Amino acid sequence: MDRTAQLTARSTEYEIAYDPPAVTAVAPAAPASLHVRAARLLEANWTGGSTVPSRKLYPHQWSWDSAFIAIGLRHVSPLRAQTELETLLAAQWGDGRVPHIVFNPSVPLDAYFPSPDFWRSSTAGCPAGAPRTVQTSGIVQPPVHALAAWLVHRADPGLSRARGFLARVYPRLAAWHRYLLHRRDLGGGGLVSVVHPWEQGMDNSPCWDAPLARIAPAPARSFRRADLDHGAPEDRPTDLDYGRYVRLAADYRERGYADGDGDFAVEDPAFNALLIASEQALARIAEELGAAGTARRARAERLTEALVERLWDPEAGMFLCRDLRGGDALVPERGVSGLVPLLLPGLPRAVAATLLRTLRGPHFSVGDRTRLVPSYDLLGEAFDPHRYWRGPAWFNTSWLVERGLREHGETAAADALREAVLRLAAATDFAEYVDPYTGEACGATGFSWTAALALDLHHQQHPPHERQKLDKGAQKGVSPSDTGTFGRSDKGGDRG
């Protein structure tokens, strides 16, 4: 479909938020708005078919990163947001899994570990239907993708319908959910299990300490940590933890990526809550395509019931992880994962009310002592305000909690959290994560999902006509090459 046809098919209800004017005169530039800065960053991290999380630290495509990035990209280029998801789903395995990394073949092998030659997806993953034409990892990440696809569609329904976007991604998303529901119900209670900490996305959380303690680490000489080239060792996972990550991944690979027999299997509240939210989104997508969404809504209700039955702990005041290989017991650690189910509309009222109290109480202190939502219990023995997922605040989890606050009518609290996200994203040059008390930047800067989700919250805060006025004022005197055109480009640690 040519560009003219795309534009004429586009709905007039939604406006493209970023369309920099052709400016030839160069004058002293006013500070760029957050919207423009975020858009520039996403352009800089665009590789032609997808967006890297970070140019140096994470130089490939990550699964849940791309979902969050697409949610922000929809405000600047719905076409690119659709392409982001399509590129990821093109690497889907035959059994339905969506791999957590899709490797860029132009990136040197030693730029990131574990690299393609560690995962050996096209050979070790052959029994599970790994693609032959692209190299991927063999594990997965949280299923945010159907929610992202629905939000991307709503940003420009005309373009989406003209390209057949939902019709093309729906079968892949349905297969992805089938894989999780049928292959990963390792506890038999209806919930999905993760088989590696990287799958849940919050890699180094203290919630994994007890399940990981049973794993014999891989020898230190068997791998090289590329993440330490770009991050301070005191902020990253320890060598012991990293050795256990490598051991789990290698064992999974040697089993041909078959599920069910590994030494690590945990039911995680955030992973399952995002699956429920995406089941609800798939129901909407099905209805948009002329099918019934009733069965998916019923499944979302059943999953919500199972989530409460298996992972809710009234004494902790939140959801906890269940360690299936550790006596089928709840892990007594409070992580931000246990707050993420707040985004579900079907939670029992008493459960939602208790979650809100926990969010504001001494363990997380949101709206009082902390600026964003800490990744771990402020009172926990393992709390560290700077070490990866052991206390720092991340922008994607704060975005999810903000959405949950709005879902349950906590508008003032949601507004305050949104403002904190926007302020800290701008002040830290879109940091990967921040100290929850001070807001000090940690990890990488120029982080894509931070920019994308700040863009999404900025869009909520400013109507399109107001945002265009602000951005045009901020762009005065800025050359077109500075703002970017969102065209295709050849620009080229451990991550969950």
Instruction: Establish whether 429 is a catalytic residue.
Output: no
Helices 448-461 & 34-44, crossing angle to 10 degrees? 150
Could you tell me the two tokens for 362? 């001494």
Q: Active-site residue among 43, 84, 199, 203?
A: 203
Shortest CA distance to 96 belongs to which of 130, 49, 120, 135? 130
Catalytic: which of 227, 432, 435, 494? 432
Token pair for 141: 């990440």
H, E, C per residue of 159-199: HHHHHCHHHHHHHHHHHHHHHHHHHCCCCCCCCCEECCHHH
203 among known catalytic residues: yes
Burial (CB count <10 Å: 0-12, 13-18, 19+), residue 267: buried
Active site residues: 203, 432
